[in-house]
Structure 1
């Protein structure tokens, strides 16, 4: 048992903090006492410290499972800026001789970052078993449940990883999880719910005003988006369900508002995405038009607004994304734009094209190639390779489709609310109701004129005109962007 004064000593000397934020000491103490722990702390609560500090008090390294390379790279960069050299990131870019050299010396690293896909590699797993890490961290743990069997199925193998690492102490981290999702996370990692320490803090962010802006048509939504961007103080993020539309709207908004705007989505080159993120952090960009690929690990405290152009798939994703606003505690706003029929796009995006049992059986028996299983052939082949029967696969995906439909209906209910939006969200996440002034548009319809926002940061070069030229060059858009 490591004493509390030793924990504070590391906090002061290594990290330069005088005290812990709410929930941090409780989580760290549980881990250092050998307890598997689920920590649900709001965005901006300092979740990275929960594994970084124990790493300096444990005998061997810490393995951090992360869903995005950009998120891992951000954490690696920050650790190195703090003077930490014993940190490595295991990705598919690490090949051949370089990979062998890293794996042979893996025991010298204090922090080992990896995607769930990388941890299924037999060579990586063998190296980790030799190291016998002291702590396994599952970052953004809601992904285990929220993504389900239809996306990133390698998350389901983390249970086996825990077992192969000797039942290593496990930390599960997320900002949002309903009671059902909490149970699902713990179950899928093969842990005993009654023996997992849970450190849970409210998802409520009282400084984020909640609003739904219902319009009559797609054209009206476009006009309202431009009006909001012109009216609200930045910086801000607008989320789209479509890569193409995120790019198109970045161009339109740069033209209509004169702001420095850029798109961000997974279809863009990695270097371009990295540059855009860095320039946004440095206030060279005032607005990002993004898909859900943008946001995890973006530690920008002064985001004043989050706008959703399309209906999100579920309330958990919505809370994750709007939680990126106002991390400095200052007034911010989350606006969801809605036009009749918007749920149709999200329903289409979340519909699973499930092969028949007969077709799955023929592939399993080697009579047909996996390609006959359709666009998601690799996904279904994964489950067959893991020993799932066709019946089990179809049952799991039918259950997943039912959950996706239920989640979308909850999101639709949020749009149509005539009562407090905040309490609806708190109830969804298993919390009690509260009373709060300046809460949502249902009790303050004229919110845009009444909210008191802090001043926007002064834009840093390159100026908006430079960014319009860059957008024109990047996306082969003609000189109409130079107008205005």
Structure 2
């Protein structure tokens, strides 16, 4: 059966999006595959469809609970019931039931942290795994913008599972990060399918506003006038809640906040309300949006400057998945870089925390054993966040560390943290430089990902003459409709050029 026939029969689509068919064909040919596809091009289909053909199980490693749940719901909407997400959403009773009947599921989603549980690993080793999928694979690389220590262990996990056929998926990875992904997964031969990260239907607009109060007023004005639905991204949970309340109190639209501080049921409810059109605007932190399958988002507003280019690209990629014109607006005030710098510093253990921790350890031993079970009380007493503590455990128990002397280990850890902070600050100031640039914004983003702009496109960015009026409510302008084919032709051209250059 042709792939297009399977696509239409099981998923209701008549044609593949950018890169999908190439990735699926590579997997079905038995090739380990690294796929870098732009946000909004349906990366999940790259393992959904092969699962209908491959005999064994499809194991998908996913970084976020909300992302897993959304993808499970997508499967069920397509009529696939043999899907499960092994995560903390399950009660103990539900988890025991799932594990006892794991062989009855075709698609199994897990967090990398779940793979640390020996009993779960033993159950997975009993299965016939046809495809090992690493979603958001940039989380593997220590130089990636969203590094997760547990992701870096997936090479070991693959070996324990018998080195199954592997698909690594990402939308935002520099060439350095892509090479890091391959090395970490311990794959010698891999088929790389790298499409352009450009989404020509997303116009980019940066607007300077004097201060915080002006920024708040400007958001209210933008949401009032722009076509909806939309997402407003904040770095602060409190700011997201305040803006959602303002929009509702002023009768501007139906809005809700979304952030990691909400309980699981609230997050799922808000996400579903937004997907099914019961909310117009989500005021969100970066916890929202990854994998959310809503095609008609017309605008993305960034209230705070993102910490790096990769996360900016991920977040604006929520818009315009229906292929129609949409806009990404970033509001910038003087000193906006201070908040991401503060957050970057907070993600890493401080020197004082490291000194305190190693002093506590030294009271008990002078040498660090091959693997040490650090007491959870140390985490609480030292004031370590979950992210910081995962970094501590990962470093202390790394099989690749070169010393067991506590003093040397302490110095090495401080050096690593300092290097990480330098990289994070470099990314922040790179973002600031992009915000303040007078050059084409699209061209600069493509350069960052080692691509070149093939030619100017209509409705590109504020530096190329873009006007916000074209995206206002009631202004689904004929001009945009008429120019829709122009950017589609442009996209086809650059994809053709990339194929010819391979």
- Partners of 2:33 and 2:298 lie apart in 1 by 33
**Aligned with 1:439 (options 440, 457, 460):** 460
User: Could you give the per-residue CA deviations for residues 296-345 of structure 1, whole angstroms, max 9, x where no partner exists?
Assistant: 12111111110000010000000000011111122211111111111001
Listed one character per residue, the Cα deviations across residues 228-252 of structure 1 (whole Å, up to 9, x for unaligned) are 1122111111000000110011111
Which stretch of structure 1 is more off in the superposition, 160-169 or 6-15?
6-15
TM-score when scaled to structure 2?
0.83
The yes-or-no answer on 1:260 pairing with 2:281 is no
Question: What residue number does 2:364 align with?
Answer: 367
**Distance across 2 between alignment mates of 1:409 and 1:257:** 37
Residues 305/93 of structure 1: CA separation in 2 closer, same or farther (3 Å cut)? closer
CA contact (8 A) 2:205 2:330 kept: yes
- Which residue pairs with 1:383 in the alignment? 395
Alignment counterpart, residue 443 of structure 2, candidates 423, 428, 451: 423
2:113 and 2:8 map into 1 onto residues whose CA distance is 36
Residue 275 of structure 2 corresponds to: 281
Alignment partner of 1:272 out of 242, 266, 275: 266
Deviations 1:262-316 (A, max 9, x none): 1111111222222211221222211111101110121111111100000100000
The residue that corresponds to 2:105 in the other structure is: 109
What is the count of residue pairs matched by the alignment?
Answer: 449
The 1:120–1:70 alpha-carbon spacing in structure 2 relative to 1, beyond 3 Å, is same
Instruction: Pick the aligned partner of 1:246 from 234, 240, 254.
Output: 240
**Pair 1:454–1:76, CA change in 2 (3 A):** farther
Cα offset, 1:254, TM superposition: 2.0
Q: Per the alignment, in what secondary structure is the counterpart of residue 126 of structure 2?
A: helix
In structure 2, which of residues 404, 419, 426 is the aligned counterpart of residue 406 of structure 1? 426
Contact 2:85 2:109 in 1 (8 A): yes
- 1:127 to partner: Cα distance: 0.7
Structure 1: distance between partners of 2:73 and 2:363: 46
Question: Is contact 1:149-1:396 (8 Å) kept?
Answer: no
Q: CA deviation at 1:423?
A: 0.2
CA distance change for structure 1 residues 40 and 216 in 2, over 3 Å: closer, same or farther?
same
8 Å Cα contact 2:225-2:472 kept in structure 1: no
**Other structure's SS at 2:67 match:** helix
What's the Cα RMSD here?
2.4
Partner of 1:478: none
Asked if 2 retains the 8 angstrom alpha-carbon contact of 1:330 and 1:454, the reply is: no
1:120 CA drift (Å): 1.2
* Alpha-carbon shift at residue 362 of structure 1 (Å): 4.2
**1:27 counterpart residue number:** 23
Aligned partners of 1:176, 1:417: CA distance in 2, in Å? Answer: 21
Q: Does 1:87 align with 2:83?
A: yes
Q: How far apart are the structure 2 equivalents of 1:227 and 1:17? A: 38
Counterpart mapping for 1:124-203 below 5 A: 124-145=120-141, 152-192=148-188, 195-203=189-197
Equivalent pair of 1:150/1:397 in contact (CA under 8 Å) = no
2:405 — aligned with what?
none
Task: State the secondary structure of the residue aligned to 2:337.
Answer: helix
| 8 A contact 1:330–1:453 mirrored in 2 | no
Q: Which of residues 46, 60, 78 in structure 1 aligns to 2:56?
A: 60
CA contact (8 A) 2:469 2:475 kept: no
Deviation string, structure 1 residues 144-198 (Cα, Å, up to 9, x no partner)? 2378699642112211111111111111112222212212222222233xx2211
Say whether residues 1:72 and 2:93 are aligned partners.
no
Would the aligned equivalents of 1:41 and 1:174 in 2 still touch at CA under 8 Å?
yes
Q: Secondary structure at the match of 2:300?
A: strand
Give the whole-Å Cα distance in 2 for the aligned partners of 1:119 and 1:53.
Answer: 25
162-171 or 146-155, which deviates more: 146-155
Gaps of 5+ in 2: 366-374, 402-408, 477-502
Whole-angstrom CA distance in 2 between matches of 1:449 and 1:343: 28
Please state how far the C-alpha of 1:78 moved relative to its aligned partner: 2.1
